[in-house]
Structure 1
Amino acid sequence: MNNEKQKLSVLIITLNEEHHIKSLLEDIDFADEIIVVDSYSTDKTVPIVESFKNVKLIQNPFIDYTSQRNFALDQAKNSWILFIDADERLTPDLKSEIVTAINSENAASAYFIYRIFMFKERQLNFSGWQTDKIFRLFNKSKCRYNEERTVHEKLIVNGPISTLKNKIIHFSYSSYEDYKSKMYNYGILKANEKFAKGIKPYFLLLFLHPLYTFLYQFIIRFGFLDGGKGVTICYLNAYSVFVRYKELRRITSSRI
């Protein structure tokens, strides 16, 4: 039996996160190692990170999310990894649960963590986000991101999986234009992912898939209960799907 306290590396990927990064770095002081992998931010992100002497800053060109995450994994000294985005925050209870989990005799290889989606400063309760969970805590000796997925990364886990009880607070939506930009970028990356798999950009999907996405999230996933916020989120998620197929058609036609 090994009673040695397990050490935790917290990894953060950034690009122009000056509005979030300071609060996050102040929030994760319980980590044994903190690494920020920045893809050459043009705002104040870098000097803010450099002001934290306990944080290691590495700049690496951004290709896609999976490549950037796997690069960050390779920089960590410790086996236990907590990946967190600049717009996410940990509650005190979640921090305590993370420490307990990695030091448990029956620790899983990876842990799902649920997220609370914040629309500006208020919680979004539905619109597809009510069951949002993601791998954030895992043992890197047993896990790696699937290189075929470039956005909405998929973690390949060898071993048991568990779920933490406490949730991450996700401040993803700060403004309409900011969130629309995120959805646009996701759409572009997803188009390139589909092109690499040889998926055809059927014309009807350009309209039917975004419509289905909106109706599914707004009706089946109860987006209408979020009122105007629900309309906005469901529309922008559908917009990302539209961008995906529009870009896929452009890429495909340019390669013919």
Structure 2
Amino acid sequence: MSAPKQKLSALVITYNEIGYIERCIDSVSFADEIVVVDSYSTDGTYEYLLSHPRVRVIQNPFENFTAQKSFALKQASHDWILFLDADEVVTKSLQKEIINTINDSKACEAYWFYRTFMFKNEKLRFSGWQTDKNHRLFRKSKVRFTDKKLVHETLEVDGSSCILKEKLTHYCYKSYEDYKSKMLCYGRLKAKEAFYKEKHFNYLAMFFKPAWKFFHHFFLRLGFLDGKKGVIVCYLNALGVLERYRELKKLEKKNELAYYLVMP
């Protein structure tokens, strides 16, 4: 007698993703359930999800990426989880690999996915992203999102991690303003991480680290081979690093002011 088919929960977190979330949802229609946690979108994303017959949508205030993903994970009914960002798409070949993987008796507890990055509708082949990978498929009972990171959340796995062969498609760059906004948001969250860890602002790091980020991604990670796309992406990634130090400086000043205000 063959073992019963493993059930899969597809999870997504969203905020103002209309125009992209539709493609994401379509690509996970093979899952047994689709749960989306929305951060009170204002562009029609929530209304689209609410009307979708396959989607269970829940609105939850956004605190940070780790908290939001941890909340979403609690909503899943099944042990096997496929966790995507709203601008990610599962290809047909990856769908087959996922189904075969979770029904394999020798499956690992979690799986890394490499990603194909898209600049609008063109592939971004270099610019530091060519070796990027993330945990996207895992057993709910064997993982947790560490609370040590607020952005670029890290999965702690009780067991082994393997890598799937097929790549996930990531529409990372929609427009200049969208990507810039994303990088600035990441920078501010990174600043909060650093502040909570009692790391201190210094001017040398604020000037050196963004310059190194651009140099590393554009020259050492071959961003120049992506042409104009590489220039834009590497510049905005460096801008995100600069924002981290700007925000850290602001947080330290606020903390100092609060300290002096409560002094007797």
TM-score, length basis structure 2: 0.95
Shift of 1:226: 0.9
Shift of 1:29: 1.1
Query: Partner letter of residue 30 of structure 2?
Result: F
Counterpart of 2:94?
A: 94
Shift of 1:98: 0.3
Counterpart of 1:34?
A: 34
Counterpart of 1:171?
A: 171
Contact 1:21-1:48 within 8 A present in 2 as well = no
Q: What secondary structure, in the 3-state scheme, does the structure 1 residue paired with 2:26 have?
A: helix
Shift of 1:203: 1.2
Counterpart of 1:196?
A: 196
Contact 1:11-1:34 within 8 A present in 2 as well = yes
Counterpart of 1:234?
A: 234
Counterpart of 1:15?
A: 15
Query: Per-residue CA shift, 1:133-153, capped at 9, x if unaligned?
Result: 100000010000001100000
Shift of 1:38: 0.4
Query: Partner letter of residue 173 of structure 1?
Result: Y
What are the equivalent positions in structure 2 for 1:1-256 lying under 5 Å apart? 3-256=3-256
TM-score, length basis structure 1: 0.98
Shift of 1:237: 0.4
Query: Partner letter of residue 253 of structure 1?
Result: K
Q: Which has the larger radius of gyration?
A: 2
Query: Partner letter of residue 155 of structure 1?
Result: L
Cα distance in 1 between the residues matched to 2:243 and 2:252: 14
Cα distance in 1 between the residues matched to 2:254 and 2:230: 36
Cα distance in 2 between the residues matched to 1:235 and 1:159: 38
Cα distance in 2 between the residues matched to 1:64 and 1:177: 21
Cα distance in 2 between the residues matched to 1:97 and 1:240: 35
Query: Partner letter of residue 254 of structure 2?
Result: S
Query: Which runs of 5 or more residues in structure 1 are unaligned?
Result: none
Contact 1:108-1:159 within 8 A present in 2 as well = yes
Q: What secondary structure, in the 3-state scheme, does the structure 2 residue paired with 1:184 have?
A: helix
Contact 1:113-1:133 within 8 A present in 2 as well = yes
Query: Partner letter of residue 139 of structure 2?
Result: N
Q: What secondary structure, in the 3-state scheme, does the structure 2 residue paired with 1:84 have?
A: strand
Q: What secondary structure, in the 3-state scheme, does the structure 2 residue paired with 1:255 have?
A: helix
Cα distance in 1 between the residues matched to 2:249 and 2:205: 11
Contact 1:11-1:82 within 8 A present in 2 as well = yes
Shift of 1:31: 0.5
Cα distance in 1 between the residues matched to 2:36 and 2:201: 37
Query: Which runs of 5 or more residues in structure 2 are unaligned?
Result: 257-264
Query: Per-residue CA shift, 1:94-127, capped at 9, x if unaligned?
Result: 0000011111011101000000010111101111
Shift of 1:228: 1.0
Cα distance in 2 between the residues matched to 1:215 and 1:21: 33
Query: Partner letter of residue 183 of structure 2?
Result: M
Shift of 1:27: 2.0
Instruction: Report sequence identity in percent.
Output: 51
Where has structure 1 moved over 4 Å in runs of 4 or more? none
Q: CA RMSD in A?
A: 1.0
Cα distance in 2 between the residues matched to 1:225 and 1:21: 30
Cα distance in 1 between the residues matched to 2:76 and 2:19: 25
Query: Per-residue CA shift, 1:173-209, capped at 9, x if unaligned?
Result: 0111110000010001110111000000111111100
Question: How many aligned residue pairs are there?
Answer: 256
